[in-house]
Structure 1
Amino acid sequence: MSTLSIDHVSRWFGNVVAVNDITMTVGPGVTGLLGPNGAGKSTLIHMMGGFLAPSHGSVTLDGQPVWRNEQIYRQIGVVPEREAMYDFLTGREFVLANAELHGLGAKAAQRALATVEMEYAQDRKVSTYSKGMRQRVKMASALVHDPSLLLLDEPFNGMDPRQRMQLMELLRRMGAEGRTVLFSSHILEEVEQLASHIEVIVAGRHAASGDFRKIRRLMTDRPHRYLVRSSDDRALAAALIADPSTSGIEVDLAEGALRIQAVDFARFTALLPRVAREQGIRLLTVSPSDESLESVFSYLVAA
């Protein structure tokens, strides 16, 4: 069992701060690293995997530094998001090359290919692979030396539903075996299905950490904004503004709609249809206007 420790880690490129003073601990099981695109997830994973030195702070695995520590690399497997691969090799040759770098042979390569269910395509050139197949053969190369720590950067990109289910089952199994598995994603549903523990990164900062259900509640309980069109916007606004579940209502004449801020999500979603029914008002449009991941994560940073 391995524990990865990130202690006050920052990384900057010139004047750009990609990761800003992050501290977290990743232990055995499956952890989701969640955040919008450009949040700094890839930079953080590169430092966790020993590909990039922190500008400040330290990354250690079971107390040993990761950066420039050849022995520790034997315990780490990394599946990068980038597609750069040796397309002229077959899948088997690609995985075997990584096995040989670890002093292993064809048996280890074959076992890794079987683990990701890529034996059927192992003699095809990587250039003929779909994006999902490339992801799986990268996974095989990361598993060839049986690492105790597995880092995956957006591993489900380009996978079809069947491939996604197979990979999720594989990662669950590895977590249950006691390995430390961390995967990044900007898709909430992927994390929800796979990880009970999550770390949230926004704009290079550590926004939240803990049990997925607790973080999900924070997301649900934040103020929500809605765009509502009805048969009588002014009457609807007058009825809603009196209730404590709303903190502000604006009549948008250009849109011909109400812009409503709700501070009690559960109460407001029950209130709106009830008020409309009681007042004889028809609801024509009810749509959230702030449901992007960026808005959710930005709220978590400020919470």
Structure 2
Amino acid sequence: MTAATVPAIELRGVSRWYGNVVAVNDVSFEVGPGITGLLGPNGAGKSTLLHMMAGLLRPSAGEVRILGEPAWRNPAIYRRVGLVPEREAVYGFLTGRELVELAARLHGLPDPAAAAARAIDLVEMGPHAARQAGGYSKGMKQRIKIAAALVHDPQVLVLDEPFNGADPRQRLHLMDLFRRMAAEGRTILYSSHILEEVERLADTVLVIVAGRLAASGDFRRIRALMTDRPHTFTVRSSDDRALAARLLAEPAIRGIAFEDGRLEVRSAELLAAARALPRAAREAGVTLFEVRPTDESLETVFSYLVHR
């Protein structure tokens, strides 16, 4: 985002407390177009943040702005924002089509039936649209909620655990849908407890720990900045012991161990290790078969941040 660009979502010094319990503590960040994953352990404040961003909850301190406008007590933002709550917020006595058409009418769309049909097709719920929502599976309820949130073609989409109950094929379809929306310039912010999905889908992550923002950005860059955590590699070669002996002379190598017949190498710096390993192999006359980072995943980064 340039200096002249208004962030799609902006939080400035936001806190929220309930009596003596602080749920969110002085959180600031900006979110632009693309897909952003909101992560944190249970009770970290994720849902509280999402509710404040959706204008459903008033910050105790600070300010939440959506597309440059205040989120609290500003119904006009709902013309440009879609919300998918974690709860199964469906009227069981309505059919799926009626539920999405109701959302279209609430938004004042000129042709609610046509808008609902388009949104239902986006989430592949057409064959089930005539059934009462109370009889849907958890995954189907989730998809019809997403259709209701998309019916007015929002610029910003806020989702709380959107893949709950979805089977693997439905997850892949929803991921592809969100990617297409992001490619069109929309902003998608979603929470998930399935880190593998966030790693595959999100461009950036926001990590909330104990109500505070612990880290934000690309998780690989976050990992690179964790200088207090050595990088670990599993290495396979034609002669692991000869390679290990040569690596001990490399300043970048912080430790070496043999685990279950595999050579594990630890280094303080990722790039330094990437240079040291082939150099040591060449000088030792050893052939490298595999060099695999073992702690560069989003799951590892999340674990490091939560347990610091």
TM-score w.r.t. length of structure 2: 0.73
RMSD of aligned Cα (Å): 4.3
Among 114, 132, 136, which residue is 2:139 paired with? Answer: 132
Matching residue within 73, 77, 82 for 1:72: 77
Percent identity between matched residues is 56
Counterpart check, 1:95 vs 2:106: no
> 2:190 is aligned with what amino acid?
F
- Give the aligned partner of residue 202 of structure 1: 208
**Conservation of the 8 A alpha-carbon contact between 2:27 and 2:213:** yes
Distance change >3 Å, CA 159–CA 267, structure 1 → 2: farther
Match of 1:19 in 2: 24
Q: Does the 8 Å CA contact 2:156/2:187 hold for their aligned counterparts?
A: yes
How far residue 168 of structure 1 moved from its aligned partner, in angstroms, is 1.0
Specify the code of the residue in structure 2 equivalent to 1:151: V
* Residue correspondence of structure 1 range 48-59 to structure 2 within 5 A: 48-59=53-64
- Candidates 174, 183, 188, aligned match of 1:181: 188
Q: Which residue of 2 aligns with 1:10?
A: 15
The answer on whether the counterparts of 1:87 and 1:125 sit within 8 Å (CA) in structure 2 is: yes
Q: Which residue in the other structure is 1:252 paired with?
A: none
**Counterparts of residues 1-303 of structure 1 (less than 5 Å):** 3-27=8-32, 29-38=33-42, 39-104=44-109, 105-196=112-203, 198-203=204-209, 204-210=211-217, 212=218, 215-219=219-223, 222=226, 223=230, 263=268, 296-297=301-302, 299-300=304-305
In the TM superposition, what whole-angstrom CA distance separates every residue of 1:165-205 from its partner, at most 9, and x where no partner exists?
11111111111112222122233322222222x23223221
**Superposed displacement of residue 2, structure 1:** 6.7
Asked whether the 8 Å contact 1:200–1:206 carries over to 2, the reply is yes
Change (3 A) 1:70 1:190: same
CA distance in 2, matches of 1:266, 1:189: 25
CA gap of 1:295–1:55, structure 2 versus 1, over 3 A, is farther
Name the CA distance, whole Å, in 2 between partners of 1:194 and 1:302: 24
Once residues 41 and 189 of structure 1 are traced to their aligned partners in structure 2, the CA distance between those partners, rounded to angstroms, is 18
- Structure 1 residues 25 and 218: alpha-carbon distance in aligned structure 2, compared to 1, 3 A threshold: closer
Mapped partners of 1:123, 1:217: distance in 2: 47
- The alignment partner of 1:71 has SS state of helix
CA distance 1:246–1:2, change in 2 (3 Å): closer
Deviation >3 Å, runs of 4+: 220-226, 239-249, 260-271, 290-303
The number of aligned residues is: 294
Task: Say whether the 8 Å CA contact 1:2–1:148 is kept in structure 2.
Answer: no
2-structure distance, mates of 1:128, 1:179: 32
Residue 136 (structure 1) shift: 0.8
Taking the aligned partners of 2:173 and 2:83, their CA distance within structure 1 comes to 18
Report how far residue 62 of structure 1 moved.
2.7
Output the amino acid matched with 1:177.
E
